[in-house]
């Protein structure tokens, strides 16, 4: 077993690594979508940015930022990518991941630290340059995304599967499923709204964008084909057994890591919370969709994941 402080740092390193990857992906997807529809439907472009501000800690923007969808896009992209002071920004998350790693270097391998360190320094170096050209920012985000995936690869490839590794993966897995639930909770109300849909093509664009926000478009197609059926997409994103972004898969991962961390033969409080949630996802999925209770179920999931985080912090990180 390891020091509580080290476990705590590794858990947060995992959470911030995953969060940084999510921020990067969400920014790239949202920016692409809103650029394309800005001339067609400006209110949709604004709505997408507003939703992103609800999925991630939303920045407080200057008053003139909502003048146009374009101004909003520029301000949001800047705040969420390279604003070092904004706690939702990529730079902030990367720095936190790297600070946590730096405090527990002895628990990591050189490969893991160096990849993460380089990714952070590279982004920081670029933020010091002029980034008014949107393609520069896009390429910085793409490179950071690649660096983050390399870091995750280095973790998979080089770290011993000890207690430290389990806490790191626990943080990563919990962050991922939590963010998936938030994205669904924020974006589904507009997509499930019963009002008449004027432009069907736009509706599907938004669904496609939702899948891409959860890096699930290709995986969905492999399972259900190219037809975007709302019921299928819901089943896929919430209850699919195999796709790494589904709620069921994510909660299952959290459950596994918690069980492997728990003292032998004990079902600790975090285990019990997550175990029950997992059972609901496995056995009640169909009913939840049929009864139209998806949104309230998502609220329940978010609440339980929050409780699980509190319980595991209290059990393992002490004070």
Cβ neighbours for 130, distance < 8 A, ≥ 6 positions apart: 136
The site string for other proteins over 254-273 (x = CB under 8 A, - otherwise) reads -------x-x----------
Q: Which is nearer to other proteins, 105 or 157 (CB)?
A: 105
Q: Any idea what DSSP says for residue 245?
A: T
Task: Give the SS3 label for residue 216.
Answer: coil
The site string for other proteins over 77-116 (x = CB under 8 A, - otherwise) reads ----------------------x--xxxxx---x--xx--
143 binds other proteins (CB under 8 A): no
Among 7, 45, 152, 311, binds other proteins (CB under 8 A): 7
Q: Which is nearer to other proteins, 3 or 191 (CB)?
A: 3
Q: Which is nearer to other proteins, 20 or 217 (CB)?
A: 20
Among 118, 124, 256, 259, binds other proteins (CB under 8 A): 118
Angstrom distance (rounded) from CA 154 to CA 152: 5
Angstrom distance (rounded) from CA 5 to CA 278: 28
Cβ neighbours for 163, distance < 8 A, ≥ 6 positions apart: 1, 2, 7, 261
Question: Binders of other proteins among 45-74, rule CB under 8 A?
Answer: none
159 binds other proteins (CB under 8 A): no
Q: Which is nearer to other proteins, 35 or 109 (CB)?
A: 109
For tokens 């990067």, name the residue: 24
292: left (phi over 0), alpha (psi -120 to 50) or beta: left
CA nearest to 86, candidates 64, 109, 61? 61
Q: Which is nearer to other proteins, 6 or 13 (CB)?
A: 6
Q: Which stretch binds other proteins (CB under 8 A): 2-10, 15-23, 87-95, 229-237?
A: 2-10
Cβ neighbours for 64, distance < 8 A, ≥ 6 positions apart: 71
156 binds other proteins (CB under 8 A): no
Total residues at the site for other proteins (CB under 8 A)? 26
Q: Any idea what DSSP says for residue 162?
A: S
Report residue 182 CA to chain centroid gap: 9
Q: Which is nearer to other proteins, 3 or 149 (CB)?
A: 3
Q: Which stretch binds other proteins (CB under 8 A): 80-88, 89-97, 288-296, 311-319?
A: 311-319
Structure tokens at 118: 């380089």
Contact, 111 vs 158, CB < 8 A? yes
317 binds other proteins (CB under 8 A): yes
User: What one-character-per-residue DSSP string does 24-60 give?
Assistant: HHHHHHHHHHHHHHTTT-HHHHHHHHHHHHHHTTPPP
Q: How far is the CB of 34 from other proteins (least distance, A)?
A: 35
316 binds other proteins (CB under 8 A): yes
Which residues would be at the binding site for other proteins (CB under 8 A)? 1-7, 99, 102-106, 110, 113-114, 117-118, 121, 163, 167, 261, 263, 316-318
């Amino acid at each position: 077993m390891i020091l509580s402080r080290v476990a705590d740092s590794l858990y947060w390193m995992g959470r911030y690594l995953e969060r940084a990857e999510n921020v990067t992906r969400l920014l790239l997807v949202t920016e692409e979508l809103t650029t394309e529809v800005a001339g067609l439907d400006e209110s949709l472009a604004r709505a997408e940015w507003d939703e992103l501000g609800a999925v991630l800690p939303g920045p407080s923007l200057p008053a003139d930022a909502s003048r146009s969808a374009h101004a909003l896009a520029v301000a949001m992209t800047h705040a969420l990518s390279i604003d070092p002071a904004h706690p939702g920004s990529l730079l902030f998350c990367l720095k936190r991941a790297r600070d946590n790693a730096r405090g527990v270097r002895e628990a990591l391998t050189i490969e893991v630290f160096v990849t993460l360190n380089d990714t952070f320094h590279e982004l920081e170096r670029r933020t010091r340059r002029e980034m008014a050209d949107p393609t520069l920012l896009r390429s910085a985000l793409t490179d950071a995304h690649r660096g983050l995936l390399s870091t995750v690869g280095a973790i998979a490839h080089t770290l011993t599967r000890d207690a430290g590794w389990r806490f790191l993966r626990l943080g990563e897995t919990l962050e991922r499923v939590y963010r998936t639930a938030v994205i669904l909770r924020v974006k589904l109300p507009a997509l499930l709204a019963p009002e008449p849909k004027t432009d069907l093509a736009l509706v599907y664009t938004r669904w496609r964008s939702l899948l891409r926000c959860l890096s699930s478009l290709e995986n969905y197609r492999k399972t259900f084909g190219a037809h975007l059926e709302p019921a299928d997409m819901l089943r896929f994103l919430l209850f699919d057994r195999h796709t790494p972004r589904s709620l069921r898969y994510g909660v299952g991962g959290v459950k596994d890591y918690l069980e492997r961390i728990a003292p032998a033969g004990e079902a600790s409080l975090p285990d019990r919370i997550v175990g029950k949630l997992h059972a609901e996802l496995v056995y009640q999925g169909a009913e939840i969709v049929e009864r139209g209770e998806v949104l309230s179920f998502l609220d329940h999931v978010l609440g339980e994941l929050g409780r699980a985080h509190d319980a595991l912090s209290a059990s393992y990180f002490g004070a």
